[in-house]
Amino acid sequence: MKQSEIKELSVAELQEKLSETKKSYSDLKLAHAISPLENPIQLRGIRRTVARIATELTKRELQ
């Protein structure tokens, strides 16, 4: 998910997306611990998406 897409979402949508993304990240981490993922770079991408969403939420709270 790109930063431009994140900026278009409302606060409620961002919070929902954050929880979904965190869940998918934890699921992928667990799957990777059991047997290696075919594309482990996915973990980095999802972790960065979580950070982008969390940053946007914090930014909106401070405004």
Give tens-digit pLDDT for 4-20.
999 999 999 999 999 99
Residue 32 lies in a domain: yes
Residue 24 lies in a domain: yes
**pTM score, two decimals?**
0.91
Host domain of residue 30: 3-58
Q: Which residues of 8-32 are buried (b: 16+ CB within 10 A; e: fewer)?
A: ebeeeebeebbeebbeebeebeeee
Q: Tokens 């594309």: give the residue.
A: 39
pLDDT, mean of residues 11-40: 96
Number of residues assigned to the chain: 63
Neighbours of 37 (CB within 10 A): 14
Residue 51 lies in a domain: yes
Residue 63 lies in a domain: no
Number of domains making up the chain: 1
* The pLDDT of residue 1 is above 90: no
Residue 15 lies in a domain: yes
**Measured distance CA(32)–CA(53) in Å, rounded:** 23
